[in-house]
Amino acid sequence: MDTMKTKKIYLTEEGFADLKKEHEELTKKRRPEVVERVSLARNQGDLSENAEYVAAREELSFIDERIAELEELLKQVSLIHKDNDKTGNRSIKLGSKVTVSHGKTKDVFTLVGEWEADPTQKKISHESPLGKALMSKRIDQIVEVNAPAGKITYTIVGIN
């Protein structure tokens, strides 16, 4: 967790709400359920051969570690606010939804912090090669990204 102490954690309001929801689910629902399982299994007698007790203790340990991680992370969050500038003269920054073209293909990506990045949902980290290339750029600018297959050239066609 040392990296969390030295870096800001950038999240959209949606990502922040998701982490708070996960924390609440773990602390108010899952953890009490698992504590109850540990207690019931403990009452079954010999703990050295009690697989349910061992499994419940391991799950409780995992939940406690995740709760601690979430609490540390939530303390360090810097929210990404949406820019309401409609002049069309904006540059790309965290939270921007960017439309790029590559040849005849168009893609739409949302630039997010690394904790929220999810390529399957076209949410890319501002620290990824494409994210770094897009930061601070404007419509009609061209960016080149080194990929395993070689250089890929994108033209920025929209910023929302």
Question: E strands within 24-159?
Answer: 77-80, 97-102, 105-112, 123-125, 142-147, 150-159
Calpha distance 14→24 (Å, rounded): 15
**Rounded Cα–Cα distance for residues 123 and 69 (Å):** 22
- For the chain, what's the residue count? 160
Domains along the sequence of the chain with CATH: 2-79 (1.10.287.180), 85-159 (3.10.50.30)
Is the pLDDT reported for residue 132 higher than 90? yes
Residue 33 pLDDT > 80: yes
In percent, how much of the chain has pLDDT > 70? 90
Q: What is the value of pTM for the model shown?
A: 0.72
What tens digit of pLDDT does each residue of 53-110 get? 889 999 999 999 999 999 999 999 999 877 655 555 589 999 999 999 998 999 999 9
**What is the predicted pLDDT for the residue at 85?**
53
For the cut 90, the answer to whether the pLDDT of residue 30 exceeds it is yes
